[in-house]
A and B are shown apart, each in its own frame.
Chain A
């Protein structure tokens, strides 16, 4: 069992409010706009200092777009991302450059994100340069970064292709650490690794997070991975958060029918006697171009009622620290009422 007990919630580091990312779609390259993909449609959550927030959802849920909008790789079309009382979505170019040091991203495929022509040491030195580390201290700095991610200093002289997938992902993490960010966003950072290597990288992230109080936004389609790494988890469906809560809330007391279906669909490597009965979700995720009215999940929901087809459910407090957007889950009593 995990021994770390947390006291009062830490202060909020990043506040995402009503974030919207809508992409115009054209039938042909120069034609008129024919529609809008609502990739992210009113998403709000808070990332607390020293916390790991997991973001889960199937393809098309908008989880990666949320991350890209937070880092301003994609410009949001609405809402705010607030960090250090600055609205990131409104930063100008110079301010944006300063901000980028505060938030770093680790991608799924380290093949794509490391420059194949640069030695590992050179890649890491660049990160130290961004932070203003003096040239005389950079060699030491590189060795220290490598050691923090469990690699020996000798790796500084190697090229990315000489490393295994797991080692390359360690280097990506070292590079992110190099600028001393407040937040690291991991986008499916362990998904393409072999199972045995994946555990090593998850342990590394967990250790770094605990010893250095890193704040992570950890995006993954794999709920088992999130149960291990995340303190809080948000479940997204078609551009919206349908449920958010602490790890135990979400995995032991899930509320939203979509979360229940997702959990039931995860195949577990256990003998038949320990397997849970499965309830299958029918159909596939509809297009974000024309999301269903009312609750977006209603066409696939096994318990949908009339109200679900007509009224959009709000994300509401269903228990302490546990929010869900479902008409059929009763709200928690207002605070102060026994």
Chain B
């Protein structure tokens, strides 16, 4: 049984200007201990997906799903009380800004210990000892004496370590990390990703890493989902998606990133236009207005996620009429496409 099953998840919000759909018919499965990346630009619905899985969508949002199950049990029908007991113990989250999840008035040691007392029913003394161990494991030097410090006494990177220590305190089965390193310097980002990798491996925790940064997921995740305008447009093993992207959006995204090595282009290939505002859904493919391969059918019919024709290894699916009809990118040169 997979750890997490999501079928046809949809999240919409009521706004003064009408109903907007942030996530539209998203399905995904996460196995135990797996590391999955969700990549997308602003408005792609990647963060709302995370909130919906954990039952944290604000009251103005409306969540529906064919199935949203954790270890085979439906989550949508659970009460808020049940969800609270589940979160922290079995599933937890790390945010971009650790200050949003840390209590500024509470000593850091207390915050870690509290999680242990609430979820694992540890005694105060035992939780205190365990808190020091946890802080040491996430790489906080002199952890024993730093238990008595407040969040503002830590640097951004150290605060994120504390947030990870709290999220991983009960060795949950699932951790969702939403842009956990986006506001950190690169050298610190590398350290934080190492800590996440070590801890999740040690406790067999599955990680969903949400980010706009394809470089970050490439080094961390086994599998990638690329989201655009509330839908998955491509998913598959990391190396396949990053090495041989199929969807025109994934390709455009990868080609528009300047590289540290290799030939230096005079101009970057870019995706024309900008990501759509979250809004009312139109028929057809949401990427069509920006797509170099768009055909009339793309404006009429929403493409479904399907295996790439001729690709022997399964597991990769792409939602694109052009790919389904056999368009293949010329690999290596990054220049243009030809019909098969």
Contact surface of A with B, Cβ cutoff 8 Å? 1-4, 58-59, 164-167, 194-200, 202-203, 206-207, 221, 223-225, 227-229, 247, 251, 261-263, 265-275, 278, 280-282, 284-285
Q: How far is the CB of A175 from chain B (nearest CB, A)?
A: 20
Can you list 30 pairs linking A and B with CB atoms under 8 Å apart?
A1-B265, A3-B266, A166-B274, A194-B41, A194-B42, A194-B274, A195-B214, A196-B41, A196-B252, A196-B253, A196-B275, A199-B271, A203-B270, A206-B266, A206-B267, A224-B257, A251-B261, A265-B187, A265-B190, A266-B186, A266-B215, A267-B193, A267-B215, A271-B238, A273-B239, A281-B187, A281-B191, A282-B191, A284-B155, A284-B185
Q: Among B155, B156, B218, B270, point to the contact of A271 (Cβ < 8 A).
A: B218
Whether the pair B274, A261 counts as a contact (CB closer than 8 A) is no
Within 8 A of A (CB), among B141-165: 155-158
Of residues B156, B157, B274, which shows the largest number of chain A Cβ atoms within 10 Å of its Cβ?
B274
Q: Are A227 and B41 in contact (CB-based, < 8 A)?
A: no
Q: B212 at interface (Cβ–Cβ under 8 A)?
A: yes
Task: Say if the beta carbon of B331 comes within 8 Å of chain A.
Answer: no
Cα of A278 to Cα of B218 in the assembled complex, Å: 14
A271–B242 CB distance below 8 A: yes
Which residues in B have their C-beta under 8 angstroms from that of A284?
A: 155, 157-158, 185, 187-188
A198 x B256 contact (CB < 8 A): yes
Cβ of B332 under 8 Å from chain A: no
Give per-residue flags for B34-61: 1 if the beta carbon is below 8 A from chain A beta carbons, else 0.
0000000110000000000000000000
Question: Known: A194-B41, A270-B218, A278-B190. Contact between A1 and B274, CB under 8 A?
Answer: no
For A226, the closest partner residue in chain B by CB is B258
Mark B residues whose CB is within 8 Å of A.
41-42, 155-158, 185-191, 193-194, 212-219, 238-239, 242-243, 252-254, 256-261, 263-272, 274-275, 290
Chain A residues closer than 8 Å to B155, beta-carbon distance: 284
| B266–A2 touching, CB < 8 Å | yes
| A-side contacts of B274, CB under 8 Å | 164-167, 194, 196-197
Name the residue on A nearest B259 (C-beta).
A224
Within 8 Å CB of B185, what residues of A?
58-59, 221, 284-285
Contact present for A270 and B243 (CB under 8 Å) = yes
Contact in complex: B242, A261 (CB < 8 Å): no
A58, A251, A270, A274, most chain B CB atoms within 10 A: A270
Verify B215–A228 contact, CB threshold 8 A.
no
Q: With both chains docked as a complex, state the minimum distance between the C-beta of B37 and any C-beta of chain A, in angstroms.
A: 11
Q: A223: which B residues are within 8 A, CB to CB?
A: 186, 260
| Smallest beta-carbon distance B272→chain A, Å | 8
* Cβ-defined contact, A262 with B239, below 8 A: no
User: What residue of chain B has the Cβ atom nearest to residue A267's Cβ?
Assistant: B215
A13 to B217, CA, bound (A): 42
Q: Are B186 and A199 in contact (CB under 8 A)?
A: no
Asked if A265 and B265 make an inter-chain contact with CB atoms under 8 angstroms apart, the answer reads no
A196-B41, A266-B215 as given contacts; A228 in contact with B264, CB under 8 Å: yes
